[in-house]
Amino acid sequence: MSRPWPGRELVQAAARAANSCGATTAFGLSGKGLGPIGLELRLQTGFAVWIEIERKSPPAAATLRVPSAAPAESLPGLRLDGRPGNCSALARDISTGNSLKLVLFFSVPTLTVTIRSDVLKKYKTMKLELQAELASLDSRVCITTDMWTSNQNLGYMAVTAHFIDASFNYKKKTISFKEVKYPHTGYAIEEAIVSSLTEWGIRDKLFTVTVDNASNNTAACTELVKNHKSELMCEGEHLHVRCCAHILNLLVQDGMRVIHAAVEKTRELLKHIDSSPSRLQSFNALALANGMKPKSGIYLDVPNRWNSTYKMLKEAMEYKAVLNSYANQNVEGCPTDQEWDKAASICDFLKAFEELTNVVSAHREPTAHKFLPVVLQIRHALKDHRWQPTRVLKDLAAAMHSKLDKYWDPCEPYPDLPTAERWGKEIEFNLALVIATILDPRRKGLYVDFFYEKVAHNMASIPTLVESANQCMRKYFEEYKRVLDARSADPRQLSSVANPGMSSPIVGRMELEEEFSRHKSRRKRARVQKSELVVYLEEPAEESSKEFSVLAWWKINSEKFPILSAMARDFLSIPLSTVASESAFSCGGRILGDTRSSLDPEMLEALVCAKDWMYKPKENNN
């Protein structure tokens, strides 16, 4: 008969101490022989605490470990804060008179109901806060939509709102992640978008919709304009913005078909090395001999992600000498110097497009004002002969150029013809992005002149193209002026310091002063010959620097240019991409993982949205 372990009484003391901390004790000792003795404590918050006391012979010093699986606020009385009844006191109670080891840890709640209720409660609280922020927003909201598919082939649509608040902070908030029943027609997508905007109370604040190039998205935008024209700025003339990252992807994917064979020998050599541990070991031995770092694996490209080809070639060029040595010793058909030069040229070419994709896919900062420079850089890469030293790159550029003209040719040789009959161009160039460039104080109207000089099919068309952009700018300026004048004249916009029903002479005097102030502003604007827009365009453009912030500039100059600053908040919030940079290189669909696919729709939306709302930018020094 085994001798009873004296620690049993100490475990009972631990239970009493835990009860005093607000925990209920499921008192059941576990362990036999020389194994550990355990005690489970169930806290009122639903978290289970397991106390495990290990029998030690000879006895060891008492220790305590508290992992961070459970938030401290959910564990009342069980904190390492030195007060009676906390973990430290519990450890002393158990180890008094006996040198025993105590291990305290928190397990994930076994009741999924507790997790679900906590998540939904947090989500609903945050949703109310965001709804209040959007309700008080005095600017427009741009949205992006993105379709996802679960492993059960259910379709979900994410709707993300982009806006710039009164303090000129760029905000990106996922406001909806709901199932959309098949078929995903333009009508179904339009209905889902309107439902989301209505739920959030921002239907009358919609400015633009950025979507990829699918025909059903185009149909959805057409339906939005047709059904809600009166609620849209300038009747939704420039509502539809095509995802630049998606178009860039289409451009490069067309070119990848041309270059696939050009890098085949390099790809096969890398596959040979990666096919077995012994070959990788031989490669690493040669790398060390050449003063290079050994590799744990070889990077290979994958279908549908063109930047993987760039990364594969970049790594291959770094290890070119090692790869040549390995090929000479182990395989036949080593890449020739000409083939290496071809791979290097392709690598440099793809690098430029990776950088441009990262620019347009930045999703928590303004990107709209970067559109025209991006188009010019692409055209430069495709036309500059210095970028095309080989026949392969010339063919690559030609394949991409035809796609570029389809989507981003801003010149219309026959503007009076119906859209479908316009030469060399199927997609209308969105002038809202030209206005966003004008609202960049480093570029203004001068960059529009420069842009059209670079892209015009003939010099005679440049004045017409520039005037078309300027006319669009003036049209929006007058519309914003009308809206702001109406807003300032609306008595509901006045800030009241007392109950409007009170007949206080002080309140009446303040209202009269505010009315007189508005009267002076109107008279002042009437006397000034030059409009705010003319003054802005005539002033010298700001010098460009890495530290320059377009939003900070407009915040500082918002009183000087009240109408243009209101325009800047809307036009600079237009996102160029529907996806973040990490997803912008793939032409495949967005797939939900197994874990998220197993969640019910309410929980899935709560987790997706709340995660986005809880995002905090990293500090520069971290």
Ordered domains of the chain (ranges, CATH)? 7-110 (no CATH), 114-242+592-613 (3.30.420), 256-357 (no CATH)
Average of per-residue pLDDT across 286-308? 88
Q: Which is it for strands 23-30 and 155-164: parallel, antiparallel or unpaired?
A: unpaired
**Six token digits for residue 311:** 């990364």
d(CA 95, CA 101): 8
What is the tens place of the pLDDT at every residue in 331-356? 877 888 888 988 888 888 889 889 99
Neighbours of 456 (CB within 10 A): 18
Does the pLDDT at position 170 exceed 90?
Answer: yes
Neighbours of 443 (CB within 10 A): 21
**163 and 598 Cβ atoms separated by less than 8 Å:** no
390 vs 7, higher pLDDT: 390
- The whole-number pLDDT of residue 246 equals 87
Q: What is the per-residue pLDDT across 117-135, written as a single tens digit (0 to 9) for each?
A: 888 999 999 999 999 999 9
Could you read off the pLDDT of 421-438 as tens digits, one per residue?
333 344 467 999 999 999
The predicted structure's pLDDT at residue 525: 57
The residue-averaged pLDDT of 433-444 equals 97
What is the phi-psi region of residue 153: left when phi exceeds 0, alpha when psi lies from -120 to 50, beta otherwise? left
Residues in a beta bridge with 148: 156, 590
- pLDDT at residue 491, as a whole number: 52
Q: How far is CA 609 from CA 176, 293, 406, 615, in A?
A: 7, 42, 35, 10
Average of pLDDT values for 381-385? 80
Mean pLDDT value across residues 354-376 = 92
Tell me how far apart the alpha carbons of residues 555 and 542 are, in angstroms, rounded to a whole number: 15
Comparing 497 with 148, the larger pLDDT belongs to 148
Over 80: is that where the pLDDT of 590 sits? no
Residue pLDDT, tens place only, 512-571: 777 777 776 666 655 556 899 999 999 999 999 989 999 999 999 999 999 999 999 999
What local confidence, expressed as pLDDT, does residue 315 receive? 94
Q: Is the pLDDT of residue 378 over 70?
A: yes
**Alpha-carbon gap, residue 27 to 16, rounded angstroms:** 10
Query: How far is it, in rounded angstroms, from Cα 522 to Cα 246?
Result: 46
Per-residue pLDDT, averaged over 215-223, amounts to 94
Query: How many beta carbons lie within 10 A of that of residue 270, not counting itself?
Result: 21
Look at residue 112 in the predicted model and tell me its pLDDT.
Answer: 56
pLDDT tens-digit profile of 237-271? 999 999 998 888 888 888 887 777 778 889 999 99
CB 169 within 8 A of CB 185: no
Asked if 371 and 429 count as a contact pair (C-beta separation under 8 A), the reply is: no
Residue 376: C-alpha distances to residues 53, 161, 346, 432 (Å): 69, 28, 20, 17
What value does the mean pLDDT of the chain take? Answer: 77
The per-residue pLDDT for 404 is 84
**pTM of the prediction?**
0.75
Tens digit of each residue's pLDDT (9 = 90 or more) over 556-578: 999 999 999 999 999 999 999 98
Residue type, 344: A
Question: At residue 4, does pLDDT exceed 50?
Answer: no
Which of 160 and 579 is assigned the larger pLDDT? Answer: 160
Order of strands across the sheet with 23-30?
23-30, 37-43, 48-54, 101-107
| Closest to 367 measured CA to CA, from 354, 381, 376, 357 | 357
Q: Predicted confidence band at 113 (pLDDT cuts at 50, 70, 90)?
A: low
